[in-house]
Chains A and B, each alone.
Chain A
């Protein structure tokens, strides 16, 4: 049963610390998406990649957030420095890259910045 995996599942950190979230997309998928979910804003698309190249990261605060795909099996989302307003659940999703395709979501990383 192929699934998107995310680590860590939970993270508590203090303001100013660096946070790194990792995602392993489903094998064979070549699009990867990062979303943030909060009560106030709902689901927001932060960035997405196709064939490891960033296609759009306009949803991401550039001064503190960065997203990369070091290889086809790993996507990372970093926040440096973290702030309390970054507290949210961060989801990774992957797809086949055909355009208009279904996105398969991971379980999320629940981040709390104190």
Chain B
């Protein structure tokens, strides 16, 4: 079984400050990991994903995440927050390999950016 824990349902940062959204996962096999963003009244949009290879993954809008197997973490960061980053962010995990289709989501972290 797999699970995702996102620490902090709400995070507030000042415009220009570092964004750090935390995600820890549990998986019995090597995982694939995802971050999705949801803007108000919209669907989920893929920010970035980790499958294999380089553990630091760069995504859209200046976001990146680092896969740390020893810490079972996949935290999302952005050096400088912009007002347009205000949204809800979801971390998700899926077992790697053929036959794995069930994506497990965290509860989400709502990011507010203070001008």
Contact = CB atoms under 8 A, between A and B. Distances in A.
Contacts of B41: 110
B50 to A, nearest CB: 11
Interface residues of B, number: 26
Interface in A76-93: 91, 93
A111 to B, nearest CB: 14
A64 to B, nearest CB: 22
Interface in B43-57: 43-46, 49, 51
Q: For chain A, which range describes its interface: under 10, 10 to 19, 20 to 34, or 35 or more residues?
A: 20 to 34
B103 interface: yes
Given A100-B51, A107-B43, A43 B105 contact: yes
Interface of A: 4, 31, 33, 42-43, 45, 48, 50, 55-56, 91, 93, 95, 97-100, 102-108, 110
Q: Is the interface of B mostly helix, strand, loop or mixed?
A: loop
A105 B43 contact: yes
A110 B106 CA distance: 21
Nearest to A3: B43
A56 B102 contact: yes
Contacts of B102: 45, 48, 56
Interface stretch (B15-23, B67-75, B79-87, B93-101): B93-101
